Structure 1
Amino acid sequence: MNTNEFKAARIRKGYTQEKLSKLLGVTKSSLSRKENGLTPFNCIEVSILKEILKLTPEEIDNIFFNEKVVFKTTKNNTG
């Protein structure tokens, strides 16, 4: 998770942690842990945040799915 981008989006939209946590249905400390990358947001929370913060698909990818996955191919030596 890109914690800096999430914090920036929250602040840009004018939400405090306290206000956003109430809208999300979690405690302020839970949101703080999630915002700092200590615990992950679940799919339902990401969907709710998308609506509250009016996040674009690109912003969602950048904030929540920013890790790159690399696949290494190997030769199949089955004959």
Structure 2
Amino acid sequence: MFQKNEFRAEVVRNGMSLEDVAKAIGINYVSLHRKMNGTSDFYRGEIEKIVRLLNLSGEDVLRIFFAK
């Protein structure tokens, strides 16, 4: 299950906004919002771009994108 608050915290730690993240991974803000709320899923390529953009560790990825 996606951890929305953890994701937002990482975005803020990196001095970015959700709009910045959406633009950087090539989607619009509404699409990012839907993915964050579970209406649609993140694609693997989007997760890979987010990992690079926010410099996430493997542990961070598991904690944010794949929490149980």
Scaled by the length of structure 2, what TM-score is found? 0.88
Matched with 2:10 is 9
Structure 2 stretches lacking a partner, 5+ long: none
Larger gyration radius, structure 1 or structure 2: 1
Identity percentage over the alignment? Answer: 34
Q: After TM superposition, where is structure 1 displaced by more than 2 Å over at least 4 residues in a row?
A: 35-38
Aligned length: 67
Q: Higher relative contact order by CA 8 Å / sep ≥ 6: 1 or 2?
A: 2
Matched with 2:54 is 53
Maintained 8 Å contact 1:6/1:63: yes
2:60 partner letter: E
Structure 1 stretches lacking a partner, 5+ long: 68-79
Scaled by the length of structure 1, what TM-score is found? 0.77
Displacement of 1:12: 1.2
Matched with 1:71 is none
Structure (1/2) with the larger helix percentage:
2
Deviations 1:2-48 (A, max 9, x none): 11111111111111121111111000111111223332211111111
